Structure 1
Amino acid sequence: MKPILLSALLLLLALNGFAQQMQNDYFLGKNLICPPADAKDEEMLKLGIDCFQFEKYHPTATKIFTDLIKKDSTFCDAWFFAGYSLRIQGMVKEASVFYYMADSLSNNKSEVFKQNLATTLFMAGATKVARKKFTEMVQYFPQNPEGYYGIALTSLDIKDFENGLDCINKAIGKYTYNNQGAFYMKALLLTLTGQYSDGLHFLEKCKSQFKKDDNYNTAMAVCLYRTGGEKNDEKILKAADKAKAKVKQKDKVLPELLALLPN
């Protein structure tokens, strides 16, 4: 599976996590993981962070952080913010290199580092490495639902759907709000593991947000065909036909999900 196949889920994962982080004191230049010996370096770091407020200054921010790295290669916070500045400029592969260094230098002390690294690796198409980092999130920061969410997301590519289902259940139990992306993920994994009635239930829970997505409509059609067939219910089968007709780009649908759809 290419990451683009589940862009909506990925977008929710990234935006949920990044939005939470922007409210974190760390993004104000506080509570640094690797405080520099020179106080002026910390001031420069905060100046770079201030540059995030204006898009035209994002390249300037990158230069500030990379200059700090050249001065002190152990300054993990500079590595992180260099990665962040590259990611918001759309350079995800380059960003993941800097995030990786930040995470390595931090010795697993920062869930912000770990989450940004894992999510950006997935965005860059490095699913197996992203899975490793999401697993480390679960290991070192078990209270954070995004690690479990990430494992579930990567399960759609790695194909360990049962593991993904277990993890998305744990994530849902840890979220303090109704996460539509998590409900959608669970609906897909329920469908892929043959639990069609439960799949329908969770598809309904996230309908308002995902009803136009091709994976959503494919899963809906599959679940309706299977439950309608078991009940020999023409009304349900007609609803399945309507859901199937809404699928516009089959090449963007998970192959395993598409294979469950009747011809």
Structure 2
Amino acid sequence: MSCYDFPAISKWHNVTGKLNQKTAQKTEIFKMKKIIIILLILSFNLTFSQDYFEGKNLYCKSENPEAMKLYNLGIETLYLNKSLNPKYLKITSNIFFKAYKTDTTFCDAIFFTGYTLRLLNDEKAIACYIMADSLSKKTLEFKINLASEGLRLGQDRSLKIARKKYNELITLFPENPEGYYGFALTSTIFGDVDKGLENINIAIEKYKLSNLKLKDEVIFLKGVLLSQNKNYDEGLEYLERCYSTYKRDENFKIHYSLCLLKVSEIKNDEQMRQKALKFYGQIETKQQIPEDIKAELKF
């Protein structure tokens, strides 16, 4: 039996397949999907403690020797597959899943089944993450990866799961910045921008207190939220701070040109308006600009 045959995973696959076929889904979700994928880099970088990734720490250690033997084999094959060869990743995911089937309380085994499926870009990964999270309800890595996968899929149901998990992270791990950052990230989709700004500000303070370098992803997200909140002057300041990193990104161009245009109108600055027009002209996917922003980009 492979991981693809497991009922819970098959059920999720059937649901997501139906979601993909719905042409009437919320278009704003898909228009903002690209920015989500870019900004997720931060969460994935902070997802694992090295010891957990190497299999040294377990949240649901199995008392079944065969399950542990399979799990350790999975960790070993994952570690050796440094090139992330898809053939061996699939073998590894099946090893982890077999460990889980041997002991269905073994949350770590089903989590790593999901992790290897994620490396294969297999949408069934989210079902494994859901199962792991249900077995160990207060595990940071499980909630972060489940939320991140929900964002990556960008479907209505998965995005709601992501928001729920970020709220749980805030409740269970209030000193960790990831929950606040993730909530702010989902605010670019759900439209509660005021709450998004509140949470990104908390995240920034938490990152500073943790002595973590404030990455451009965080600065970019705050700039986007300020732009969405029509705080164009301050939004422009934040976008300028991450200009060198994101100047070629389509979403950056959209919000940067919008902020430039609106600030130029306030300051009556023709040179700034021309700069806004230049960046607007560089947007290759103008059809993906959300309607509310498109209405403001009038030169």
* TM-score computed with the length of structure 1 as normaliser: 0.92
Where 2:62 maps in the other structure, the secondary structure is coil
Question: Structure 1 residues 224 and 17 mapped into 2: Cα distance closer, same or farther (>3 Å)?
Answer: closer
Question: Matched residues in 1 for 2:92 and 2:109: separation?
Answer: 10
Question: Structure 1 residues 228 and 4 mapped into 2: Cα distance closer, same or farther (>3 Å)?
Answer: closer
Please name the residue that 1:87 is paired with. 118
The answer as to 2:266 corresponding to 1:230 is yes
- Contact 2:143–2:166 (CA under 8 A) maintained in structure 1: yes
For the aligned residue pairs, the C-alpha RMSD in angstroms reads: 1.8
Please name the residue that 1:114 is paired with. 143
The answer as to 2:140 corresponding to 1:104 is no
Question: Structure 1 residues 212 and 159 mapped into 2: Cα distance closer, same or farther (>3 Å)?
Answer: same
Please name the residue that 2:174 is paired with. 142
Question: Matched residues in 1 for 2:213 and 2:42: separation?
Answer: 12
Where 1:2 maps in the other structure, the secondary structure is helix
- Contact 2:185–2:196 (CA under 8 A) maintained in structure 1: yes
2:63 equivalent among 33, 37, 40: 37
Question: Matched residues in 1 for 2:144 and 2:77: separation?
Answer: 22
Question: Matched residues in 1 for 2:55 and 2:31: separation?
Answer: 33
Question: Matched residues in 1 for 2:195 and 2:76: separation?
Answer: 41
Shift of 1:74: 1.0
Aligned partner letter, 2:152: M
Please name the residue that 2:283 is paired with. 247
Aligned partner letter, 1:112: E
What pairs up with 1:1-263 in 2 under 5 angstroms? 1-2=28-29, 5-13=32-40, 15-52=41-78, 53-54=80-81, 55=85, 56-92=87-123, 94-108=124-138, 110-125=139-154, 126-175=158-207, 176-262=212-298
Aligned partner letter, 2:272: I
Question: Matched residues in 2 for 1:234 and 1:19: separation?
Answer: 41
- Contact 1:172–1:179 (CA under 8 A) maintained in structure 2: no
Query: Is 62-71 or 246-255 further displaced after alignment?
Result: 246-255
- Contact 2:42–2:217 (CA under 8 A) maintained in structure 1: no
Number of matched residues? 260
Where 2:32 maps in the other structure, the secondary structure is helix
Question: Matched residues in 2 for 1:152 and 1:115: separation?
Answer: 14
- Contact 1:79–1:102 (CA under 8 A) maintained in structure 2: yes
- Contact 2:68–2:99 (CA under 8 A) maintained in structure 1: no
Question: Matched residues in 1 for 2:229 and 2:35: separation?
Answer: 21
Shift of 1:240: 1.5
Question: Matched residues in 1 for 2:260 and 2:289: separation?
Answer: 17
| Structure 2 gap ranges (5+) | 1-27
Shift of 1:208: 1.0
| Structure 1 gap ranges (5+) | none
Question: Matched residues in 2 for 1:118 and 1:251: separation?
Answer: 28
Among the aligned pairs, what percent are the same residue? 37
Aligned partner letter, 2:50: N
Aligned partner letter, 1:148: Y
* TM-score computed with the length of structure 2 as normaliser: 0.82
Shift of 1:22: 4.9
Where 2:61 maps in the other structure, the secondary structure is coil
Q: Which runs of 4+ in 1 moved over 6 A?
A: none
Question: Matched residues in 1 for 2:146 and 2:108: separation?
Answer: 13
Aligned partner letter, 2:94: K
Query: Is 248-257 or 190-199 further displaced after alignment?
Result: 248-257
